[in-house]
Amino acid sequence: MKKYAKNSLRLSGAFIKQGWKIAILLFITVVILTAAVQNAVDLREVLDESTTVYTSDITREMAKSVSDIIELKQTDIVNIADSMGKKNIFLNRQDAADFMRRKAEILDFDAMLLLDRHGDYIWSSGSEAELEIDQQSIFDMETVQEAFNGTAGISYIGQQDLYYSAPVWNGQEVHQVLVGIRSKENMQSMIAAKSFNGKCLNCIVDSKGHLLLDSEDMRPFEQLEEIFEAGSEEVRQSIVQMQKNIAQGKGGVFEFISIDGSRNYLSYNSLYVNDWVIMTIVPADLISAGSDQYVFRTFGLIGGIFITLAVFWFLLYRIYNSNRKKLIRIAFTDTLTEGMNNKAFQLKYQDAAEKQSMQEYAIVFMDVRNFKLVNENFGVAAGNQMLHYIYQVIGRHICRENYEFAARSENDRFFLCIRADGPKMIQNRLNEIIEDINAFHDTDCPHCHLSFRKGACFADKEDMDIRTLQDRARIAAQQDSHGTEHSCVFYDESITEKIKKEQELDGLFGESLNHHDFQIYFQPKVGLKDGRLKGAEALIRWEHPKKGMIFPSDFIPLFENNGKICRLDLYAFEETCKILSRRKHEGKALFPVSVNLSRQHFYHPNFLEEFDAVFRQYDIPYEMIEFELTESIFLDDAGIDAVKEIIEQMHRMGFRCSLDDFGSGFSSLGMLKEFDVDTLKMDRSFFLDISSERARDVIKCVVELAKKLHVKTVAEGIETTEQIEYLRSIQCDEVQGYIFSKPLPIREFEQWEEHLRVTIQSC
Ligand code: C2E
Ligand code: MG
Ligand code: MG
């Protein structure tokens, strides 16, 4: 795959052009994921906010409830003191002590103490011994002293008990103060968590931050400073703010992480009793455990989606990558030969041209002649195997170190980029390749002789594009349509000129046909026995109004290649019919006229019907028309049986048939046996060397054989009396050649005919 690295880069370019779509998809994915994360974060913030509000509300409620209880107790003490003062109900100290015990029991006080200004006191029955504090300390309390002045109050000593004091009025004076004592435990039950399933911690502090009472476990509150010190700057700021708020009697809430790593809320609120503040520590997960679960689940889902998408994108990338590699392989590999295809060939040439000068290289085009016969005779699979084999043999002759390479471009066509010093060297190398192919070493391919059309173009101009070079090599090969085994046509400017000319002629064809610029010339065939006119051959001429006379050699091969010859032949045929028909109507003698038929017709099996339809429009006898089939048709790939069938069809219709140009190529006498022709037209090449004994013997032999087969013989291209004399001596039937006349326009032909008739009559 290394050799395709650069090619793959080029193809990758096309993929990258598509990459922006993938980039957009990735971007959308990232945006969606970011939005999802942001959404979860927002959700978390909203939940935190509502948790804060909730905690704050709960603490406020708790503060209210605690202060209500304290106030209630205060009211109870005030009422008892009031009733004790008004009624002066006590006969003795014991009665008073019993009264206070009963009231303490009913109103949930641990003890009561009645003090007078002189330090005298009465404890509620049975409570004195239980308390750790003495009456003197109670007497000295600020709130007790204030009660002697008529104001009820509450105080707290030593983080132990709560002391409710109320004045006992005796008329307008206060002689005694009643103190209701609630123990620490009693108080603790009061501030014990009433919310959060009892899982929060409460305490009461004063405005200076001194801890007055905690619910049960002091530890968290005792460690507050430590906790907060360990906290972040944000927490420290929250504490400062809390201190300010407490000083102003305001409440608040903030979040902190305790040293054990748990998240907590600290909420504080004024108790409206003295300057006391109730503080509550709530573990965050207590409130937001449920919602946290959803938030975490959301984060989990986002994480899951992220991982899934990452895996998805990864798999997508892998599939994309492997498909890209497959596509590159498909794009640059010829599946049949498993070698380079034309695209790869072109890119490889471009790479080579970028690295080095290609002036010593040539692009060679090789096309297997009649490859379809291999397919027809041995099957398509064998044909494919053959192409694979040809590519392998070519590969063996390619020198990769010299940066030579080859590819099958399509069908049975191959391109080679080879280094060579000149045409001769290339020709030699191609001969070696073709010889090696036809040796059929190391292969199971059917052993049949393969012949190639070959064309080459030197990359002698620096900036020559590979496509142009390939086109030129292909065009050169097209000039080799009837070339010999060992000929490779090398492209030069004259080929381009020729092609241009052909293109020009091709462009003029349709219009010229409509304008009857194509003229029929007749060339007479003269009988050797009596010197009379025996017939004529219709030969076409192109008399273009601007270009002048154009001869068949300039346009017949062109129109044979592009198939237009079929229209032209039919035209020539109809023009011939018209001439004969006119002659008939003018009362002139009719003679057989031979019309040339191109091999192209044989690719259209029913072409004769078309000719017949045209013929029937003119009232002339069938035997006046003879179709000339060029010798190569009989050797062509059209198939022997097809040609035989067409000759039979001609005869069935009533036409005659001649074998034209016999002897110009690889003709064999066997053809006369095989094909039932009426006339044998011997090519002029037979008679060029008429003085040679050997040539004469061959001609004689052919004429005798034809006679035996009752085939008429016509000698073509006869120019000399020597040729005439010999042909007459061997009893050749007719002669067609310049010795009698060149092909003539009809008017001139008829003058010539008249002249001949008069001459013969006068002899
Ligand atoms: P062909 O059918 O073999 O025609 C004979 C050619 O030999 C004619 O050339 C004729 O002018 C030439 N010729 C005759 N006598 C002599 C001679 O004594 N010396 C020399 N040197 N040449 C002689 P032309 O007319 O140029 O035609 C050339 C070929 O073009 C024909 O060869 C025929 O194959 C083809 N052709 C002409 N007209 C048509 C047509 O209408 N249809 C098709 N398919 N082919 C045509
Ligand atoms: Mg002819
Ligand atoms: Mg001929």
Give per-residue pLDDT as tens, 560-574: 989 999 999 999 999
425-457 residue pLDDT tens:
999 999 999 999 999 988 888 888 899 999 999
Stretch 132-158: mean pLDDT = 81
Q: Which of 455, 452, 450 is nearest to 488 (CA)?
A: 455
Q: Identify the CA nearest to 672 among candidates 696, 622, 719, 708.
A: 708
- Residues 524 and 740: beta-carbon distance below 8 Å: yes
CB neighbours of residue 493 within 10 Å = 7
Residue 35 to residue 158: CA distance in whole angstroms: 56
Q: Are residues 52 and 143 in contact, defined by beta-carbon separation less than 8 angstroms?
A: no
Cα 593 to chain centroid distance, Å, stands at: 65
Ligand 1, atom 41, lies closest to the CA of 540
Compute, in angstroms, the gap from residue 557 CA to the centroid of ligand 3.
15
Asked whether the beta carbons of 617 and 577 are under 8 A apart, the reply is yes
Confidence at residue 217, expressed as pLDDT on a 0 to 100 scale:
55
Query: Whole-model pTM?
Result: 0.56
Q: Which is more confident, 200 or 147?
A: 147
DSSP 639: -
Please state, for a pLDDT cut of 70, what percent of the chain lies above it: 89
Average pLDDT score, the chain: 85
The 10s digit of each residue's pLDDT in 476-523 is 998 876 555 668 999 988 888 888 898 999 999 999 999 999 999 999
Ligand 2 (ion): which residues have CB within 5 A?
A: 596, 628, 660
For the chain, what is the total number of helices (H) and then of strands (E)?
A: 24, 27
Strand order in 211-214's β-sheet?
Answer: 211-214, 201-205, 277-283, 263-270, 252-257
Q: Read off the pLDDT of each residue in 338-366 and give the average, rounded to a whole number.
A: 92
What residue has token string 């793959």? 8
DSSP states along 318-356: HHHHHHHHHHHHHHHEETTTTEE-HHHHHHHHHHHHHHS
Distance 509 CA to ligand 3 centre (A): 24
Helix, strand, or coil here: 132? coil
What percent of the chain is helix, strand and coil (3-state, nearest 5)?
Answer: 55, 20, 25
Residue-wise pLDDT tens digits, 203-213: 777 777 677 76
CB of 552 shorter than 6 A to ligand 1: yes
Instruction: Tell how far the Cα of 240 is from the centroid of ligand 2, in angstroms.
Output: 122
| Cβ 551 under 6 angstroms from ligand 1 | yes
How many whole angstroms separate alpha carbon 195 and alpha carbon 626? 124
Measured from the CB, is residue 539 less than 6 Å from ligand 1? yes
Whether ligand 1 lies within 6 angstroms of the CB of 661 is answered as yes
CB 336, CB 388: distance < 8 Å: yes
User: Measured from the CB, is residue 682 less than 6 Å from ligand 1?
Assistant: no
Q: Which residues contact 430 (CB under 8 A, 6 or more apart)?
A: 364, 366, 452, 454, 488
| Cβ neighbours of 667 (radius 10 Å) | 20
Ion ligand 3 contact residues with beta carbon within 5 A: 660-661, 716
Q: 539 C-alpha vs ligand 1 centroid, how far in Å?
A: 6
Longest Cα–Cα distance of the chain, Å, equals: 199
Rounded to whole angstroms, how far apart are CA atoms 521 and 572? 10
pLDDT attached to residue 577: 98
d(CA 671, CA 686): 17
Q: How far is the CA of 515 from the centre of ligand 2 (A)?
A: 25
150 closest CA partner among 131, 169, 130? 169
**733 CB less than 6 Å from ligand 1?**
no
Atom of ligand 1 nearest to the CA of 520: 41
Percentage of residues in the chain with pLDDT exceeding 90? 42
Buried b (16+ CB within 10 A) or exposed e, 392-411: ebbeebbeeeebbbbbbbee
For residue 226, the model assigns a pLDDT of: 54
The one-character DSSP state at 561 is H
pLDDT at 88 exceeding the cut of 90: no
Considering only 154-158, 170-174, 217-221, 586-590, which range has the smallest mean pLDDT? 217-221
Ligand 1 atom closest to the CA of 683, numbered from 1: 3
Question: How confident is the model over 27-60, as pLDDT tens digits?
Answer: 888 888 888 888 878 887 887 788 778 878 877 8
> CA 361 to CA 357: how far, in whole Å?
9
Ligand 2 mean position to 689 CA, how many Å? 21
Structure tokens at 387: 């192409």
Q: Which of 121-130, 300-309, 350-359, 479-488 has the lowest mean pLDDT?
A: 479-488
Query: CA-CA distance, 196 to 269, in Å (whole number)?
Result: 17
Q: Could you tell me the distance, in angstroms and rounded to a whole number, from the CA of residue 551 to the centre of ligand 1?
A: 9
